[in-house]
């Protein structure tokens, strides 16, 4: 038995330190997380119900579950446990690990509301929003008109038309009065 544990230990060491193993675990985690999330999101919608978790929450749960169960499954297969047993056991251990991790973080994560479950805007709120938008638009128009008026307006000036030659002849006529009878 001790000899079998030593052999299992060396097999696990070679399994966990192999770069190809890391790539394989990454692919397996990505595949399982994608499929699990798709099933959790699509299956309830097919029967007309809302999913129990939001898409982001569902994806996070599936990634964590797969990240725990995939290495466990590979390690079990490496030490000689058949795949028929290794897969369900590692899946259960992954779920248990996820549950304990969530309990350590303060319980279940809150469920984000789906868009169709979000509160509807009341008619009064809609009218207030319209009124605010209309007031902002009116103020914008008033500002544009005031700016155009300021650019184009010239203050009135007093314009005096004078004829310098007429002024000079009037002055000469006053100085050189020729009286004719």
Q: Over the chain, what HEC string results?
A: CHHHHHHHHHHHHHHHHCHHHHHHHHHHHHHHHHHHHHHHHHHHHHCCCCCCCCHHHHHHHHHHHHHHHHHHHHHHHHCCCCHHHHHHHHHHHHHHHHHHHHHHCCCCCCCCCCHHHCCCCCHHHHHHHHHHHHHHHHHHHHHHHHHHHHHHCCCCCCCCCCCHHHHHHHHHHHHCCCCCC
CA angle 37, 43, 49 (to 5 degrees): 115
Percent of the chain topping pLDDT 90: 9
Contact call for residues 62 and 94 (beta carbons, < 8 A): no
Q: What are the tens digits of pLDDT across the range 81-138?
A: 888 888 888 888 878 877 777 776 655 555 555 555 556 667 778 888 899 999 999 9
Tokens linked to 112: 């984000």
Q: What is the pLDDT of residue 179?
A: 60
Instruction: Name the least confident of 110-114, 122-126, 142-146, 167-171.
Output: 110-114
Q: What are the tens digits of pLDDT across the range 42-59?
A: 888 888 888 888 888 888
Which residues, 6 or more positions from 28, have their beta carbon under 8 angstroms from its beta carbon?
A: 66, 70
Contact call for residues 14 and 71 (beta carbons, < 8 A): no
Tokens linked to 167: 């002024």
CA angle 56, 108, 88 (to 5 degrees): 80
Percent of the chain topping pLDDT 70: 73
**Mean pLDDT, the chain, whole residue set:** 78
């Amino acid at each position: 038995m001790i000899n079998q544990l030593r052999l299992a230990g060396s097999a696990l060491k070679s399994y966990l330190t192999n770069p190809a193993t890391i790539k394989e675990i990454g692919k397996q985690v990505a595949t399982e997380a994608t499929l699990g999330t798709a099933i959790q999101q699509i299956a309830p919608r097919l029967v007309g119900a809302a999913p129990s978790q939001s898409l982001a929450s569902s994806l996070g749960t599936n990634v964590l579950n797969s990240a725990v169960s995939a290495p466990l499954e590979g390690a079990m297969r490496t030490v000689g446990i058949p795949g028929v047993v290794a897969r369900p056991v590692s899946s259960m251990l992954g779920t248990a690990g996820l549950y304990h991790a969530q309990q350590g973080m303060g319980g279940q994560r809150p469920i984000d509301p789906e868009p169709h479950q979000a509160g509807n805007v009341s008619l009064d709120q809609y009218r207030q929003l319209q009124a605010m938008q209309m007031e902002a638009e009116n103020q914008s128009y008033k500002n544009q008109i005031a700016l155009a008026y300021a650019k184009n307006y010239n203050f009135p000036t007093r314009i005096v038309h004078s004829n310098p030659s007429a002024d000079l002849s009037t002055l000469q006529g006053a100085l050189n009065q020729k009286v004719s009878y």
